[in-house]
Amino acid sequence: MAEHRRHRPEVVHRRVSGPAAAGLSRGDVAYRMSSGLDNRVPDATSRSLWEIVRANVLTLFNAIVGTSFIFLLLLGSWQDALFGLAAVGNAVIGVVQEYRAKRSLDRLAVLEAPLARVLRDGSVQEIPTADVVLDDVLVLRAGDQVTADASVLESGGLESDESLLTGESDPVDKEAGAEVLSGSIIVAGRGTARVVRVGAESFSSKLAADAKRFSLVNSEIRNSLNRILRWLTWALLPVALIVANGEMQSRGGWQEAIASGAWTSAMVGVIASVIAMIPLGLVLLSSVAFAVGGVRLAGNKVLVQELAAVEGLARVDVLCLDKTGTLTEGRIIFDGVHELAEPAEPGWEHALGWFAADPEANATSRCLESDFEHDGGTPAVSSVPFSSARKWSSVTFDGGGPRRRSWILGAPEVVLAARPGGAGTGPATGAVLDRAGRLAASGLRTVLLAYADGTTITANDPTLPAKVNPVVVLTFREQIRPDARQTLEYFRDEGVELKIISGDDPRTVAAIARSVGLDIGDGYDARKLPEDPQRLEEVMGDNTVFGRVSPHQKKDMVGALQRRGHTVAMTGDGVNDVLALKEADLGIAMNSAAPATKAVARLVLLDGRFDRLPGVVAEGRRVIANIERVSKLFLSKTAYSIAIAVSFGLLNLQFPFLPRQLSFTDGLTIGIPSFFLALMANTRRYRPGFLRRSLSFAIPAGLIVTGALLGLNLYATSSGAADAGPEPLQSASVLTLSVLGLWILTVVSRPLDARKLAVVLAMCASLVILLNLPLAQEFFHLAWPPADLLRAALVAAVGGGLVLELLAWIHSRKFPR
């Protein structure tokens, strides 16, 4: 792949022999291009920009708000149309949020190679990846990324790293006839392969296509708010009709109101009742709280791809972890030497130095470079590079005549395998294999160094001699992330269940899981996973560590956990994790992850530090707990708005507020204070049932406020205090509602600390100032009511406040913190 970036497309005039001697001709390529058999992939997601705008703007909810806004402007009451700003803000935030998600999905790509090396007209050419066509012959070398699914024609020690796609970290040997998958990396050898699938049909493209399905993160807050808005949408029309009839009847009946022109003020009352029912500010404030949480996390090197993801991890009760790149750093490190005899055969350190310095060394041998230096002494006579098929490599040094010695480095069970007349039959061999097996069971990768005298092993005849002598066992381990143990302990303490899901050997995965503090036995081999969904759910519930898991199995496993009622988070860094990250309630990617993986993840740990996750949990808890707190304010307003509208309409009483007056009380008792409350610290642990808890307080509180206002207005009507016109009674109603609103604010802010108390006192002071400010009085049509109405308003407010205290006590007993 690096070589691709160094060169521009060019024709390399080198003849190739064998089954792929010529490749496709220019005419063959042109025919396939015209037939659509090239490697171009459609990049559109399931939602266009217009669909996103339509989904967020052209809704029944927005139609009601927009119609009310336009109607007030036509009536000349622009002061009463302030609610339109909140509606516009909600729509803009929704469009921007989903468009950002769309752009991330559009950029999703499994293939990174900009160029492909192909054989055409008998010559090797480098062409753009998109121009590869069906039946093209790919020329593959170490470092290349395979650009389309292909069948191997010729193989010279060809090995493919498919860890990005399958999760298995060991290279896969590719002989003639084997398939190489698009997106995999050639790590050793060279060869040719004929393309069998291109474009949308290739393995990497199908992964990307599944990942590009549009979806929003599962958010309890957003789902609850949407549910409330759906309920309100159905309630708006009947409530509006009740209010309209009450308004007209209070003005002498429909005919009299229409004839006198009083219907215009009646319609303003209807619109005021309708808009008061809608918690516009709560939707907007939730988006703002998510956005501020995202900014805070960005300061801690956590990228939030979707705002509601800030909430997600606080709700998670199962965390699925990919081993490579999450628990481990994704690289092999040298662990130690275990000598098999004393003293060890001289020259073994020199041999290991040669293996480490060999230009064709694999990743395991290169780990030895810092511990064993090659002194450049005795030159090598011959060598055999490592192959995952053979599972060994060798070097032969010439000491002259019978002193010629071959050193073999490879898997113990292969190097010491029984051969006629040779090694592998004696008790010493069994002891060596037992020792290597015990080391492997502890999660270490084992490699044996052995030698054979008087023999030469060549690449043309890579055959092990009959008798070999084991010298040392070398152990390697994956580098565990230093923050893994502490972070896993945090999640266990918080009651989050952990699942380790990997494409590697389940025994190795289990050993690594034990090394980071998980008390488990052996892992479960995913090749034995049942296909029946119900049995799969049972297996997922009974096991913690899973190995040999395919990408689609990861997705199915996440789905099985979700069907058991869990909220699932999934971490990963390979393309093999893309489908599971997409399926999970919350996908988390490391910064080292493949571009496709980061594109579908909701959170990206920019510095790759696993210990950032507890901070994400804390931020999510702050958002959830604070939005639950302020939701009680907004939903209380919705409850009393509906109750006031229905009760006043049925009793043929005028709606007691103008829309602008409701904006006045909303701003003082809900809008401004809730903004501060939503951003304050809050470490309360998440508990399901956000909507039930909020409504269990908001509905009774709304009825208490309605009872107080209804009592005030009935008193004014019966005593004749309402005969002086609507303004004094409206002012008295505003005062009553403001005091009760501040009382609710005080209740939901508990326990009060210095900051919350300051907010409450500031709102009380603002109420007194605005009621005495001539400019505010003129704009909001407010004035201090006459003495009798003022006394009635204060009695109604204090009486309602005492009942609110009783409600708060009952609610705290039913839902303790």
Q: What is the pTM of this model?
A: 0.60
Domain with CATH 2.70.150.10 in the chain: 1-203
Mean per-residue pLDDT of the chain? 79
Comparing CA positions, the residue from 476, 536, 546 lying closest to residue 504 is: 546
Q: How far apart are CA 369 and CA 352, in angstroms?
A: 9
Domain with CATH 3.40.1110.10 in the chain: 331-480
535 contacts: CB under 8 Å, gap ≥ 6: none
CATH of the domain spanning 1-203, picked from 2.60.40.650, 3.40.50.150, 3.40.50.1820, 2.70.150.10 = 2.70.150.10
pLDDT digits 0-9 by tens, 491-537: 888 888 999 988 777 877 888 888 888 888 778 888 889 989 899 99
3-17, 24-38, 250-264, 374-388: range with lowest mean pLDDT = 3-17
pLDDT digits 0-9 by tens, 544-580: 999 878 777 888 999 999 999 898 989 877 666 777 8
Domain with CATH 3.40.50.1000 in the chain: 302-329+482-616
The DSSP annotation for 396-433 comes to: EE--SGGG-EEEEEE-HHHHT---TTSSSSSHHHHHHH
Per-residue pLDDT band for 794 (boundaries 50, 70, 90) equals very high
Q: State the CB neighbour count (10 A cutoff) for residue 59.
A: 16
Q: pLDDT at position 9, please?
A: 33
pLDDT digits 0-9 by tens, 669-714: 888 888 888 878 776 777 777 788 889 999 999 999 999 999 999 9
User: For every residue of 3-42, which 3-state class applies, written as one string?
Assistant: HHHHCCCCEECCCCCCCCCCCECHHHHHHHHHCCCECCCC
Kindly state the percentage of the chain with pLDDT values over 90.
15
719: enclosing H helix or E strand = helix 690-719
Q: How far apart are CA 180 and CA 161, in angstroms?
A: 10
Q: pLDDT at position 11, please?
A: 33
Per-residue pLDDT band for 13 (boundaries 50, 70, 90) equals very low
Q: Coil, strand, or helix at residue 324? A: helix
pLDDT digits 0-9 by tens, 52-102: 777 667 766 667 777 777 777 777 666 666 666 666 766 776 677 666 655
The neighbouring-strand residues paired with 116 are 127
Q: Coil, strand, or helix at residue 462? A: coil
pLDDT at 155 over 70: yes
- Reply yes or no on domain 331-480 having CATH 3.40.1110.10: yes
Residues assigned a catalytic role = 322
Interstrand relation of 469-480 and 445-453 (parallel, antiparallel or unpaired): antiparallel
The DSSP annotation for 137-188 comes to: EEEEETTPBP-SEEEEEEEEEEEEE-HHHH---S-EE--TT-EE-TT-EEEE
CATH of the domain spanning 302-329+482-616, picked from 3.40.640.10, 3.90.650.10, 3.40.980.10, 3.40.50.1000 = 3.40.50.1000
Starting at the edge strand that comes first in sequence, how are the strands of the sheet with 469-480 ordered? Answer: 328-339, 469-480, 445-453, 405-410, 392-397, 380-387
| Cis omega (within 30 of 0) for bond into 343 | yes
* Phi-psi region at 157: left, alpha or beta (left = phi > 0; alpha = psi -120 to 50): left
Starting at the edge strand that comes first in sequence, how are the strands of the sheet with 318-322 ordered? Answer: 302-304, 603-605, 586-590, 568-572, 318-322, 497-501, 545-547, 524-525
Domain with CATH 1.20.1110.10 in the chain: 220-294+622-814
- Return the CATH architecture of domain 220-294+622-814: Up-down Bundle (1.20)
Q: How far apart are CA 627 and CA 315, in angstroms?
A: 14
Q: How far apart are CA 562 and CA 544, in angstroms?
A: 16
